[in-house]
Structure 1
Amino acid sequence: MDGKTPDYELEDQLALSTPAQVRALGNPLRTTILGLLHERAASVTEISTAVGRPKSTVAHHVKVLTEAGMARVVRTRRVRAIDEAFYGRTAKMFYVSLDSSEAGNGETPTDFNDFEVAARESRPAYSEGQLWGFIRHARIDERQKKEFWRRMKALVEEFDTLPRRGDVVHGFAVGVYPIPDYPQLPRDTE
């Protein structure tokens, strides 16, 4: 491999604009599959071996991702008179972009939360003293929040494009969220 990650062409970003796409991304096995495909294209057999799940289960989840437009066949090879498909992601980064008419209709899964996934995944690292993280709170306006999010997104994109090496996969979680009931000092009158 020439260091290019992944080993096929794909878009930089894809807006997930339907509840079905968000639901597809909300499954932990499917997000794991997309993570594996960020490294290189893979067959259902290879993915099945990597995740330790039956090929039929992996094939189902790959089909869901394909139907949602997040995965596609990027190449095939002939194996004993059968064409084996290799799947890749359709974009380096997926982001949720539901319009306001869809967002409030109850179709978006309520359990779609990257921080919940990060909390579950990081528990063993915390127990072993290997979890590094920060949490900070600041009163900022909407413009500052959007600018900070843009910078965090660039950092995530940088993390996504790091050459794959080493023996351990590391997680990286970032976020900005409002806390309406967080204590605040009264505004300074001077």
Structure 2
Amino acid sequence: MADNRPDYELADRMALTRPDQVKAIGHPLRTMILQLLHERAATVTELAEAVERPKSTVAHHVDVLTRNGLLQVVRTRKVRAIEERFYGRTARMFHVAAESSPAGEQMPRDFNDFEVAARESAKAFEQGKLWGFIRHARISQDQASQFWEQMAELVDEFDRMPRSGETMYGFAIGIYPTDHPTLPTAQ
């Protein structure tokens, strides 16, 4: 499969270790900005046009992401007398680290990806265009961890797919403990 790296350098993964970093990704507009920058670097003007929000609003959210190390200026160009900045992600994939911060601050809870996916997928469901599975299995913690690594590889593969077509597709994946009933051990 062709690699779909953006037009700038970035790390594969970055651990979010500070509460302010986790808070920064918790806003839906910031999440959308990060998703758009998977494809290529963009200016605040381009991002504002894509998300149909005022440039000043987008500039504020880009600033929050940049201050927290999630975005970086990857290049600039002169437009008339103004230097235009192109922003890009600092990593292809961000994950919340479980450690406490050195200052003793509590890590905010990460946003619920499935809640976001449920909202985004409602229209596709109504149109009969939602494809999904849900399964339950009694497995060990080690098996769950190994499966999580496989899922992260699948997300990475999805991120690297060449961009084409007119439709933006969402992709949600996860593994979580449940209180789903289990059968008693066979006699």
- TM-score, length basis structure 1: 0.92
The answer for the alignment partner of 2:26 in structure 1 is 26
Superposition pairs of residues 20-169 of structure 1, within 5 angstroms: 20-100=20-100, 106-109=106-109, 112-169=111-168
Preserved contact between residue 15 and residue 96 of structure 2 (Cα < 8 Å): yes
1:126, CA displacement in angstroms?
Answer: 0.2
Residues 3 and 98 from structure 1, CA distance in 2 versus in 1: closer, same or farther, beyond 3 angstroms?
Answer: closer
1:100, CA displacement in angstroms?
Answer: 4.8
The answer for the alignment partner of 1:187 in structure 2 is 185
Opposite residue 133 of structure 1, the aligned amino acid is: G
Query: CA-to-partner distance for each residue in 1:114-151, whole Å, 9 max, x for gaps?
Result: 11100000000000000000000000001100110010
Structure 2 unmatched ranges of 5 or more: none
Residues 4 and 69 from structure 1, CA distance in 2 versus in 1: closer, same or farther, beyond 3 angstroms?
Answer: same
Preserved contact between residue 16 and residue 98 of structure 1 (Cα < 8 Å): no
CA distance in 2, matches of 1:40, 1:94: 17
CA distance in 2, matches of 1:134, 1:148: 16
1:105, CA displacement in angstroms?
Answer: 5.8
CA distance in 2, matches of 1:64, 1:6: 21
Preserved contact between residue 44 and residue 58 of structure 2 (Cα < 8 Å): yes
Preserved contact between residue 100 and residue 107 of structure 2 (Cα < 8 Å): no
SS of the equivalent of 1:38 reads coil
Preserved contact between residue 21 and residue 68 of structure 1 (Cα < 8 Å): yes
The answer for the alignment partner of 1:171 in structure 2 is 170
Preserved contact between residue 6 and residue 38 of structure 1 (Cα < 8 Å): yes
CA distance in 1, matches of 2:180, 2:105: 29
SS of the equivalent of 1:39 reads coil
| Paired-residue identity, % | 61
Preserved contact between residue 18 and residue 98 of structure 1 (Cα < 8 Å): no
Preserved contact between residue 13 and residue 92 of structure 1 (Cα < 8 Å): yes
CA distance in 2, matches of 1:101, 1:44: 31
CA RMSD across the alignment: 1.8
CA distance in 2, matches of 1:9, 1:136: 37
CA distance in 2, matches of 1:95, 1:156: 12
Opposite residue 136 of structure 1, the aligned amino acid is: R
CA distance in 2, matches of 1:69, 1:98: 18
- TM-score, length basis structure 2: 0.94
SS of the equivalent of 1:84 reads strand
